[in-house]
C-alpha cells in the first residue's frame, strides 16, 4: 500500500540523483577534454617571446636553434601576429571584419607547432603564391562563412599595426590584396571566427617589420603536452632567462580550465542535494515502517531476536533501496551519456561554449566515486530509524495497536 509506494518513491529519488550526477560529471569531463584537445591541435604547446616595448623577438634563427636543441622539444617555428581588418567588395557591397593575422613558417625542422594540416577543409595548406600573383590567405571557416568568401576569392587586408601618413597628414593602414587559398576549422568558434594565416615574410612586410630575423615569437611543440611547463622552464634556461620568456598552454589557458574545474565541483555539489533528498526519503520510509511494524518488532524481540538483529534488518532494507537505486541510476546515466555523445542529441551555441554539441566522456573512476558516495549516503540514512527500531521494548511494542 502506502509504504510500498513510498519505498518506490525513495528508490526513484536515488536513481534520478545518481543518473543526473553521472551525466553531468561526464559532460563536464567531456567539455574539458574536448576543449583541451582542440586547443592543443590549434595552438603551440609553448610560446617563446622577448619582453620589451616593441613586442618583437630579434635574431630568431639563433633563438630557434637553442630551442630545437632543448630536451622535450619536437618542433619549433617563428610567427608574426597582427590585428587586421579584412575587406570584401567595394562601395555599397563592401563588408569589413576584424581578424588576427598569423604569419607562419612551414620550413620547420621536426613537427610543426600546430596540427593545422588536419584542419584544412577546402583548398591547400602550403600558402604558396596563387596563379593570380596575389598573397595567399588561409581563413577560419566561421569567418569565411560570415563574409561569404570561398577559395579563389579576393580580399583586401588592412594592417592596423602599421599606420602610415598620407598626403593630408592623416594616418592610414597598410593595404594589401590577398587571395583565399584555403579554409580550416578547429572546432572552436572563437578561433574559426578570428584567425587567418599567411606566410611569415608577407606578414612581416604587411606589419612593417624590416628586419627579416625579427618576428613576434616562436611556437614550440613538445613530446607530451602534460610536460609543457617543464619544457617551457628548460627553454627559458637555454635562452638565459630575461628578456626571453616561455609560456606553456597550461599557463595561457589556466583561467579557462580553472573555471571548468570549479563549475564541475559546483554542479556536483548542487546535484548531490538530489541524493540528500533521496536520503531523507529513505529515512522517512524506514521511520514509517518502524511505526507501522512495532507489534511485529516486539514479537521478534520477545522470541529472542537481539537488538543487533533488528538493527541489521532495517539497515539492509535501507541499503537495498540505496544499492538498487544507485545501480539503476549508474546504468541509466551511462546509457544516456553514450546516446548523447554518439548522436549529438543536445546542440549548444558554439559562440558561448566553444563546442557545437554536448561532449560526453564517461570515466570509470568518476562513476565509481558516485556509486560509493550514493551507497554511503543511503547507508547513513538507515542508521537513525534502525536504532529507533532496535530500542523498542518488547512489551510496549506488542501492546501497540
Average pLDDT, integer, range 62-67: 90
In a domain, 236, yes or no: yes
Question: 199, 217, 241: which is the final residue of a domain?
Answer: 241
Residue 337 has pLDDT above 80, yes or no: yes
Give, as one character, the DSSP assignment of residue 70: S
pLDDT level of residue 349 (50, 70, 90 thresholds)? confident
Q: Are residues 100 and 224 in the same domain?
A: yes
In a domain, 156, yes or no: yes
Q: Are residues 385 and 265 in the same domain?
A: yes
Could you tell me the three cell numbers for 148? 561569404
Residue 241 pLDDT:
79
Residue 111 pLDDT:
53
Torsion sign across C-alpha atoms 239, 242, 245, 251: positive
Report the domain count for the chain. 2
Q: Are residues 276 and 384 in the same domain?
A: yes
Q: Are residues 201 and 56 in the same domain?
A: yes
Question: 241, 269, 304: which is the final residue of a domain?
Answer: 241
Q: Are residues 122 and 168 in the same domain?
A: yes
Residue 24 has pLDDT above 60, yes or no: yes
Q: Are residues 221 and 290 in the same domain?
A: no
Q: Are residues 394 and 296 in the same domain?
A: yes
Average pLDDT, integer, range 233-262: 89
Instruction: For 243-269, give the DSSP string.
Output: TEEEEEHHHHTHHHHHHHHHHHHHHHH
In a domain, 247, yes or no: no
Q: What percent of the chain has pLDDT over 90?
A: 23
Give the CA-trace dihedral at 288, 289, 290, 291, to 10 degrees: 50
Q: Are residues 26 and 166 in the same domain?
A: no
Phi/psi of residue 119, each to 5°? -100, -5
Q: Are residues 99 and 69 in the same domain?
A: yes
pLDDT level of residue 166 (50, 70, 90 thresholds)? low
Cis check for the bond before 243: say yes or no (omega within 30 of 0): yes
Question: 195, 215, 241: which is the final residue of a domain?
Answer: 241
Task: Give residue-wise pLDDT tens across range 196-224.
Answer: 999 889 998 888 888 888 898 999 999 99
In a domain, 374, yes or no: yes
Domain of residue 74, residue span: 52-241
Name every residue whose Cβ is closer than 8 Å to that of residue 215 and which is 6 or more positions away in sequence: 56, 57, 60, 78, 79, 80, 103, 200, 204, 209
Residue 230 has pLDDT above 90, yes or no: yes
Q: Are residues 393 and 264 in the same domain?
A: yes
In a domain, 382, yes or no: yes
Q: Are residues 28 and 65 in the same domain?
A: no
Q: Are residues 366 and 328 in the same domain?
A: yes
Amino acid at each position: 500500500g502506502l509504504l510500498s509506494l513510498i519505498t518506490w518513491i525513495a528508490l526513484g529519488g536515488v536513481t534520478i540523483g545518481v543518473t543526473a550526477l553521472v551525466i553531468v560529471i561526464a559532460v563536464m569531463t567531456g567539455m574539458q577534454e574536448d576543449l583541451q584537445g582542440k586547443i592543443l591541435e590549434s595552438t603551440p604547446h609553448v610560446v617563446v617571446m622577448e619582453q620589451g616595448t616593441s613586442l618583437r623577438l630579434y635574431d630568431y634563427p639563433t633563438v630557434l636553434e637553442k630551442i630545437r636543441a632543448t630536451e622535450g622539444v619536437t618542433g619549433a617555428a617563428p610567427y608574426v601576429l597582427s590585428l587586421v581588418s579584412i575587406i570584401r567588395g567595394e562601395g555599397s557591397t563592401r563588408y569589413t571584419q576584424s581578424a588576427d593575422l598569423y604569419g607562419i613558417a612551414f620550413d620547420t625542422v621536426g613537427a610543426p607547432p600546430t596540427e593545422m594540416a588536419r584542419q584544412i577543409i577546402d583548398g591547400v595548406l602550403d600558402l604558396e603564391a596563387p596563379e593570380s600573383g596575389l598573397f595567399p590567405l588561409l581563413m577560419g571557416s566561421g569567418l569565411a562563412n560570415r563574409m561569404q568568401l570561398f577559395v579563389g576569392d579576393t580580399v583586401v587586408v588592412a594592417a592596423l599595426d602599421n599606420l602610415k601618413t598620407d598626403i593630408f597628414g592623416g594616418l592610414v593602414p597598410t593595404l594589401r590584396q590577398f587571395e583565399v587559398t584555403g579554409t580550416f576549422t578547429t572546432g572552436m568558434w572563437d578561433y574559426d571566427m578570428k584567425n587567418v594565416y599567411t606566410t611569415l615574410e608577407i606578414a612581416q612586410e604587411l606589419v612593417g617589420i624590416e628586419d627579416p630575423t625579427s618576428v613576434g615569437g616562436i611556437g614550440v611543440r613538445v613530446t607530451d603536452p602534460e610536460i609543457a611547463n617543464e619544457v617551457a622552464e628548460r627553454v627559458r634556461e637555454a635562452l638565459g632567462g630575461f628578456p626571453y620568456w616561455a609560456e606553456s598552454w597550461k599557463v595561457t589557458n589556466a583561467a579557462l580550465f580553472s573555471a571548468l574545474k570549479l563549475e564541475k565541483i559546483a554542479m556536483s555539489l548542487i546535484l548531490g542535494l538530489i541524493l540528500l533528498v533521496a536520503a531523507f526519503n529513505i529515512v522517512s520510509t524506514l521511520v514509517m515502517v518502524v511505526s507501522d511494524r512495532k507489534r511485529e518488532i516486539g514479537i521478534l524481540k520477545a522470541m529472542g531476536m537481539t537488538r543487533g538483529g533488528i538493527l541489521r534488518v532495517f539497515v539492509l532494507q535501507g541499503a537495498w533501496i540505496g544499492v538498487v537505486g544507485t545501480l539503476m541510476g549508474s546504468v541509466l546515466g551511462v546509457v544516456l551519456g553514450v546516446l548523447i555523445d554518439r548522436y549529438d542529441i543536445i546542440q549548444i551555441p558554439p559562440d558561448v561554449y566553444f563546442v557545437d554539441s554536448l561532449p560526453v566522456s564517461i570515466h570509470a573512476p568518476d562513476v565509481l566515486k558516485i556509486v560509493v558516495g550514493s551507497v554511503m549516503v543511503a547507508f547513513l540514512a538507515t542508521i537513525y530509524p534502525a536504532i529507533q527500531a532496535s530500542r523498542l521494548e518488547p512489551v510496549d511494542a506488542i501492546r501497540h495497536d
